[in-house]
Structure 1
């Protein structure tokens, strides 16, 4: 019974902390610029693992520089010109910076998806802080474990669909812009062709040639 109560308290704690993690952003990174996010980790953060995920949705060659800087201004993780990256980290207490760089690009800006998420324990017992994970569980514990697994799966799928939705929206907007430009060009071509046909037809009916008759000498 105590273990069931511990799991229920863990579910309540997860519900109250749901608005903090995961943190997800989709942002624009201008050319020749650097943009940083800052996150402060508490004392108990060293006991947990975090996942960082980023993907370049559009822009140039779909690559970006990424670096994580510790509170002592030391880079603990760095990637250069990457399209996608996912990595697991353990952070000490303090404020970390997550920086994206586009300084190597002087023309194109980038649209980037970034997520910072706490790594989920394999079971609710571990998430609740239980030292001994039971191997034989009751029906209630089994149902809770199944619900926990389903919720984690739903959260993962939602993150994937969020990235795909951003990519699909960008493709749709780009296609819409191309169709609008092509339609405008076709409309101008139709107007020019129509005006040219009218001018040519008018020349057929307005060209009047004078007919001259020969003059014969009159008899005196």
Structure 2
């Protein structure tokens, strides 16, 4: 019966957190908006995004509160990681716009996390775990911070990998078309040379043998 009490602070912490992690494609000149509900004033909103592929890996974005007031915005940003305090209860909007691109589609990863402060609840029986609650909660919060750091590092390397793959793919595509154009140019030059030699050895309709 020891394990449930050891997990109690962790359960209290996770019970007040909900998040959404998505990957979406944004077409040229397209605007996409996503929404998150805040049930209580003072809750924390975590907002992360990173452009994985497409163009220069940049995107325009803005975040608005339920009163349509702009909280943060950015133009041609490659990625961002923000923490906001929700002072108004209601629906918050997170919009991305690929207006700077007329041909290129962008692939975007983003997280929207709404997190309230964990509540301390009294133990089931007085004196049962009160001596260990603070130490356990501190350990849980420390572990949570370490896990968040690991998660951010994984996101960073995931983004680097996707961007590197996209650059390699674009480079291979350019090399392919360069090789095709080079082959066409070589064939064209050979045909021109044959034509020039034919006209050089042809005079008034007569051909001279060499």
TM over 0.5: yes
Compared with structure 1, are the counterparts of its residues 12 and 130 closer, same or farther at alpha carbon in structure 2 (3 Å cutoff)? closer
Does residue 8 of structure 1 match 2:7? Answer: yes
Q: Work out the CA distance in 1 between the residues paired with 2:57 and 2:145.
A: 37
The one of 37, 40, 47 equivalent to 1:40 is 37
Structure 1 gaps of 5+ residues are: 211-220
What's the secondary structure of 1:90's corresponding residue? strand
Q: What is the CA distance between 1:36 and its match in structure 2? A: 0.7
Indicate the structure with greater strand content.
Answer: 2
Does residue 77 of structure 1 match 2:71? Answer: yes
Does residue 190 of structure 1 match 2:186? Answer: yes
Question: Which one has the largest radius of gyration?
Answer: 1
Q: What is the CA distance between 1:77 and its match in structure 2? A: 0.8
Structure 2 gaps of 5+ residues are: 123-129
Does residue 49 of structure 1 match 2:44? Answer: yes
- Residue by residue, what CA displacement relative to the aligned partner does 1:117-168 show, whole Å, maximum 9, x if unpaired? 356x9xxxx8574699969858xx96x6775454333311221122222322
Alignment of 1:31-180 (within 5 A): 31=29, 33-41=30-38, 43=39, 46=41, 48-56=43-51, 58-59=54-55, 62-64=58-60, 66-72=61-67, 74-83=68-77, 84-91=79-86, 92-103=88-99, 105=100, 107=102, 109=104, 111=106, 112-118=108-114, 129=120, 137=135, 148-180=144-176
What's the secondary structure of 2:83's corresponding residue? strand
| Match in the other structure for 1:27 | 25
Q: Work out the CA distance in 1 between the residues paired with 2:142 and 2:157.
A: 22
What's the secondary structure of 1:51's corresponding residue? strand
Compared with structure 1, are the counterparts of its residues 184 and 14 closer, same or farther at alpha carbon in structure 2 (3 Å cutoff)? farther
Q: What is the CA distance between 1:27 and its match in structure 2? A: 2.7
Q: Work out the CA distance in 2 between the residues paired with 1:60 and 1:116.
A: 24
Compared with structure 1, are the counterparts of its residues 187 and 147 closer, same or farther at alpha carbon in structure 2 (3 Å cutoff)? same
Compared with structure 1, are the counterparts of its residues 176 and 26 closer, same or farther at alpha carbon in structure 2 (3 Å cutoff)? farther
Q: Work out the CA distance in 1 between the residues paired with 2:162 and 2:104.
A: 16
- 8 Å contact 1:53–1:114 — kept in the other structure? yes
Across the aligned residues of Structure 1 and Structure 2, the Cα RMSD in angstroms comes to 4.3
Q: What is the CA distance between 1:195 and its match in structure 2? A: 3.1
- 8 Å contact 1:60–1:110 — kept in the other structure? no
